[in-house]
Structures are given as structure tokens and as C-alpha cells.
Amino acid sequence: MRQFPFGSTQAPLSHPGWQIGPGLIIAGSLLALTIAGLAAMLWQAHLPEVAKLWQNRYLGNVIRFTIWQATLSTALSLVLGLLIALALARQPRFRGRSLLLRMMELSLVLPTIVAVSGLVGVYGRHGWLTSVVEHWTTVRWNLYGLNGIVLAHVFFNAPLAGRILLQALESVPAPRRRVASQLGLTGWWLWRTLDWPAVRRVLPGIAALVFTLCFTSFAIVMTLGGGPASTTLEVAIYQSLRFEFDFGRAALLAIVQLAICGAIWLFMVRRGLSANLSPQRSFSETIRRPDSQGITRLWDAALLVCFALFLLLPLAAILLQGLPGLVTVAVDGGTSLADLAEATLRSFAIALPAGAFSVLSALLVLALAGRGGPQLARLSSVATAVPLMVPPIVLGTGLFLLLRPSLGHSSQGLALVALINGLMALPFVTQLLKGPLAGLDQATAQQADQLGVLGWYRWRWLHWPRLKRPLALAMAYGTGLSLGDFGVIALFGTPGQPTVPVLLYQQLGSYRMELAAGTALWLLTLLLLVFATFNLPGYRKRKQSRHQNDALNTLAEARHA
């Protein structure tokens, strides 16, 4: 007979310190880094000058324009998102529905600068749609300025809002939807009894999220702003740092931005609106709604087709205009090809460490949340939310000011870009890993405890099988977000050593449109390659994984029931 005690000494890394320590260090470092960056800004900002800021006409205009474009973009994104969500909820059998939903997912990963290139191809001075409209009508349209900024923001945020709202609409319990269907409720009463209560719960949260994203948007304003009249806070901070070397003003602007974004996020957290704001892939069972027939059906179909075209045309423009550009670069070779190859290597040199950093940090901080008690769970939650509260340019500014004296070699700047990119991806990566990592139910955990499956063994036998695929997806997200970044790199990078997004920006700025289209297509291809590569093991073992996932899902459902 085996003598007890046993187990505790057998499992490597089973000491509680191993589960709490690394996460504590990471969470503490994240907060320390943020606080140090903000402190460096405060030190530079000379707070009494805040009053002067409001008297400065240019800066006043910048703040007003930032708020105005964000408000307009948010309102339009929400209205369009709601219309699309309602149409999709009414038409569960709409042909191409799943394809449209996939396209709506793209907004989470499509690099802004690539989308801008596609939008220019459709709505720009010589864009497809602009040419058609100007040929047949007297309407004149200028993409650059408020028009383009709002259009691009709606392109990115309406799909995001639409997916979250659709999820809310479809989360209405099936029995309630069946009752509405049986009673034949339509129009106002269906909206009043079924849709509005579901939408109302998430609407303030989405509004805050979209407003923050539009408020802190950088690449779109940089490329489509078109001049000083359309400058936002982010761009003004960038200009202060890069061109005017006015660190005090940059810090002051960053503080204004932080105050506004922080207030919005505080409002969201207080109201409990931050949870479940990222769209999920699965949708509930489809129950035919009484208002899905007749003229409504035609209207919905027309709306969904128009929306699909709205999303598809810029992507088609990237493909069709980019292909010749890419072929030209490949055939001609020379400096263009060398530039693209170098930029690609540089992008990966930043993106891969950034992805790995975000995944590792998320894992360690989540482990801290799971094993460390309520106070440490709160610390981990705050640490992973910090990048959402503190926009990249603000954090970047703080760290720039903090490290400026010692930042010498350009590789140090790139390392800093990788670090900040990793931090920016952290909230999304955490969201992806949170569920699978916390999925160990009480019965399984108790069994594992009794058998001494602790520490490394617990990770190997219980967590790893559940986390393999989410980890690959998280790595793809982390790497992809960094690969498409054109915010932090603009601040720390040097024009002579561009990443692919910076190269694209330079080509757009010098009106080398064919080259730019080729580079945009290349960046999109790289992104797809990243996602395909990290998900390859999943495809190879799809059958086995499906079996495992089915078993895990069944288990989870049984436990929840």
C-alpha cells in the first residue's frame, strides 16, 4: 500500500508561489510601466499651463474636432450596426449570412492603413465609386477631411457594433421568442417587447467602446485627415513629438486624452458595461420572426447586400489594384522589392515578440487571477484593462519621455514598439484565453486535487488540451495586431527603417498609388499567412480536436446545467 502523504512533492512547479509569482511580477510591471509613463508626462506637462491650452485656438479646435468626429462616427456606426443586426436577426436564412458575418469579423484584425488604402481605391479622387457618381451626377465628393474620417470609422465600427448587437438580439431566451412568434407581434410591439430590452443592455457599452476607438483613432486621421482643420488629439500629440519637439504640449494633450478616455472607461466599469463586448462566433438557434416576411424581407435583403458591398468593395479594390502593383514590384525587383522585403522582416521582428509577449503576459496574469484570491484577481483585471484605458499614443508618449535620454540605437526603439504593441494586444488576447483557462469546473478541479495533478502536471494534462487552439489564435491576434500597427511605430520608428504599414503610409503620402496598393495587398496577405500558420496544427488535427472540443463542450454544458 502506498504511504501518504504523496503528490505534493512530485508535481513540479506546484508551489503556490509559482502560480502567483510570475503573474504578480507581470501585472505589477504593467502597472508600474503605465504609472511611470504617466508620471513622466505629468513632470513634463507643467500643469498650470492647462488653462492656456484652452485659450490656444488651434488646440481648442483640435479638441472640439476630436470630440465631434468621434460623436458623429459613433452615432452613424451604431445606427448602421443596429439596422444590420436587426436585418440579420430577422433573416436567419439569408443567403451569404455566414460569409457576411465573417466579413464583419475582419474589422477586428484588418490593419487600419490597409483598409484606408482600399477606401481610397473606392471613394478616393479616382476611386471606382467616385468616378461613377461624378460621371452620372453633379455631386462632388472629397474623401479627405471629416468625410473620409467618418467613413473609415463607420467601415470599422459598424460591423463590430452589428455583431455585438446581433448577439444581444439572439440572446433573447428561445421561449420568449417563440411566444412573440406565436402571438404574431410585429413592428413597434416586437421592438418594444423583444428587441429593445436586449439592445438596451449593451448599447451604452458599445457606444462607449466605439467612441473611444474613434476618439483615439490615429492612422485613419493621419492618412485621411487632409490638413490642420481635421486634426485629432492623437495626431496633434504625434506632431508635437515628432515635428515640433514640444514634449510639454504633447504631455498636456496626452493628459487631456487620458482624462476623457479614462472617464469613459470608468463610466463603463462602474455600470458593468465592459463585460462581453467582444463579439462571439457562435449564434443561438434561429426562430422565424413574424416580421421577417413580405416587404421587410426585401428591405432586409437590399440592406444586407448594400452593407456587404460596403465592406467588400474596399477589399476588392485592395486585391484588384494591389495585384498589378505587387507583380510590378516582384518583376522589376530593384529598390522597391528590397524595401518591401526589409520592411517585412522588420515588421515580423517586431510582431512576433509582441505576440509572444502578449500571450505569455495574458497567461501569467490570468493564472494569478485564478489562484491568487479576490485582491490579486482585481489587480490582474486592472493590469489587463490598462491598455484599453490608456491609448497607445499616450503610453508611448510617457515611455518616450521616460526613456528618451537613454534611447540611442534604433533597435531599442523597435524593442519598445514590440513591448507597447504587446501591451495593446493584451486585452484582446486575455479575452480569448480567459474562458478556456477558467474552464476547469469544480468537479474536475477537485478530482485533479485529489490525484495530485498539480503545478506543471495540471497545465500539461488539464489546461494544455483546452488551450492549444485558443493559444494559437491568441498568438495570431497578438502578432496580427502588431503587424498592422501604424500608431506606436510612427512615434518610435525612423522613416529610413519602415515597417510594412509605415512603408504603405509613405507610398500613400507620396501618391505612388500603384505601389501603395501592392504593399496593402502584401500586408493583407502577411496577415492571412499569420492566421493560417498559427491555426495550421488545428486544421491538421481537426478531427481529433473536434472530438476533444465536443467532449469539453458537452462536459461544460452538463456542469452548467
Per CB under 8 A, does 13 bind other proteins?
A: no
Nearer to other proteins, 90 or 466 (CB): 466
Alpha-carbon distance of 249 to 484, in angstroms, equals 28
Residue with cell 500608431: 487
> By CB under 8 A, which span of 32-40, 137-145, 168-176, 448-456 interacts with other proteins?
448-456
Per CB under 8 A, does 559 bind other proteins?
A: yes
Helices 513-540, 542-560: crossing angle, 10 deg rounding: 70
DSSP 230: G
CA 298 to chain centre: 33
- Given 190, 360, 444, 525, the residue binding other proteins (CB under 8 A): 444
Per CB under 8 A, does 454 bind other proteins?
A: yes
Per CB under 8 A, does 538 bind other proteins?
A: no
Alpha-carbon distance of 41 to 394, in angstroms, equals 9
Nearer to other proteins, 50 or 558 (CB): 558
Per CB under 8 A, does 447 bind other proteins?
A: yes
Q: HSE of 488 in the Cβ direction (CA atoms, 13 Å)?
A: 32
Per CB under 8 A, does 555 bind other proteins?
A: yes
Nearer to other proteins, 21 or 452 (CB): 452
Alpha-carbon distance of 26 to 186, in angstroms, equals 53
Minimum CB separation from other proteins for residue 438, in Å? 16
Alpha-carbon distance of 402 to 258, in angstroms, equals 17
CA 218 to chain centre: 14
- Pattern 365-384, binding to other proteins, x per CB under 8 A? --------------------
Identity of the amino acid at 67: I
Choose among 202, 203, 209: nearest CA to 261. Answer: 209
**Three cell numbers, residue 343:** 520592411
> By CB under 8 A, which span of 143-151, 381-389, 439-447, 471-479 interacts with other proteins?
439-447
Show contacts with other proteins in window 466-495 (CB under 8 A).
466
- Given 79, 302, 320, 451, the residue binding other proteins (CB under 8 A): 451
Per CB under 8 A, does 412 bind other proteins?
A: no
Choose among 406, 419, 392: nearest CA to 491. Answer: 392
Minimum CB separation from other proteins for residue 378, in Å? 20
**Three cell numbers, residue 86:** 436587426
Q: Cis omega (within 30 of 0) on the bond before 427? A: no
Q: HSE of 68 in the Cβ direction (CA atoms, 13 Å)?
A: 13
Per CB under 8 A, does 532 bind other proteins?
A: no
Minimum CB separation from other proteins for residue 368, in Å? 20
Per CB under 8 A, does 31 bind other proteins?
A: no
- Given 156, 218, 357, 457, the residue binding other proteins (CB under 8 A): 457
- Given 56, 412, 446, 510, the residue binding other proteins (CB under 8 A): 446
Q: How many CB atoms lie within 10 A of CB 370?
A: 17
- Given 4, 136, 188, 511, the residue binding other proteins (CB under 8 A): 4
How many binding residues for other proteins (CB under 8 A)? 37
- Given 449, 509, 537, 540, the residue binding other proteins (CB under 8 A): 449
Alpha-carbon distance of 115 to 205, in angstroms, equals 25
**Three cell numbers, residue 2:** 502506498
Instruction: Please write down the HEC assignment for all residues of 244-275.
Output: CCCHHHHHHHHHHHHHHHHHHHHHHHHCCCCC
Minimum CB separation from other proteins for residue 462, in Å? 7
Taking the alpha carbons at both ends of the chain, their separation in whole angstroms is 39
Alpha-carbon distance of 117 to 121, in angstroms, equals 6
- Given 54, 68, 196, 456, the residue binding other proteins (CB under 8 A): 456
- Given 52, 192, 271, 547, the residue binding other proteins (CB under 8 A): 547
Minimum CB separation from other proteins for residue 540, in Å? 18
- Given 8, 98, 131, 510, the residue binding other proteins (CB under 8 A): 8
> By CB under 8 A, which span of 74-82, 148-156, 251-259, 552-560 interacts with other proteins?
552-560
Alpha-carbon distance of 358 to 125, in angstroms, equals 40
Which residues contribute to the site for other proteins (CB under 8 A)? Answer: 1-2, 4-8, 10-12, 443-444, 446-454, 456-457, 460-462, 465-466, 547-548, 550-552, 554-555, 558-559
